[in-house]
Amino acid sequence: MSRLAGAVALAGLLVLLPACGSRAAKSDAGARVSQAAVLKLNPASANDGGRIYIKNCSSCHQADGRGVAGAFPPLAGNPLVTGNPLRTIAIVKFGVSGKTTVEGGDYNGTMPAWGQLISDEDIASVVSYIRASWHNDAKPVTLDDVATASK
């Protein structure tokens, strides 16, 4: 490529770059508005849910959500997790004990009541995280959902 052709190509790029930047700025502004709407419903981020899960839940339910056969039920692909969100919140918040069957496996143990140990914001965040992780495809929960959940 000649020096002149190279200079023309560079000049063309310099003309186009500001246009790209303004599109990115508009896209960033839209993302900030969307994020603000989500944070209004649940001030904890998805990253917080993952952090809370790893710290408090993964030792039993495993980092991949598959649980431990016969001991701790899986959260991945569990219809209870992706079903009624108030039921899932109640399990996390108030705990549960007794027999349950998940994906053909029987479990008879105790899930501790995390509502005494972590905030409602953390519960909303971790439940939203598990409802959206490991190919689970359920909508997030809100602080209002956590407040309405009962035993």
**Cα separation, 33 vs 105, whole angstroms:** 43
**Cα separation, 126 vs 46, whole angstroms:** 8
**Cα separation, 141 vs 43, whole angstroms:** 11
For the record, the structure tokens of 55 come out as 């710290």
At 83 the pLDDT is 96
pTM, two decimal places? 0.70
At 48 the pLDDT is 83
Q: What are phi and psi of 139, to 5 degrees?
A: -70, 155
At 24 the pLDDT is 40
Binned average pLDDT, 10 residues per bin, the chain of 151 residues: 44 39 43 51 64 94 94 95 96 94 91 95 95 94 94 86
At 26 the pLDDT is 43
At 4 the pLDDT is 42
**Cα separation, 75 vs 143, whole angstroms:** 21
Which stretches of 19-64 are assigned E, i.e. beta strand?
A: none
**Cα separation, 132 vs 134, whole angstroms:** 7
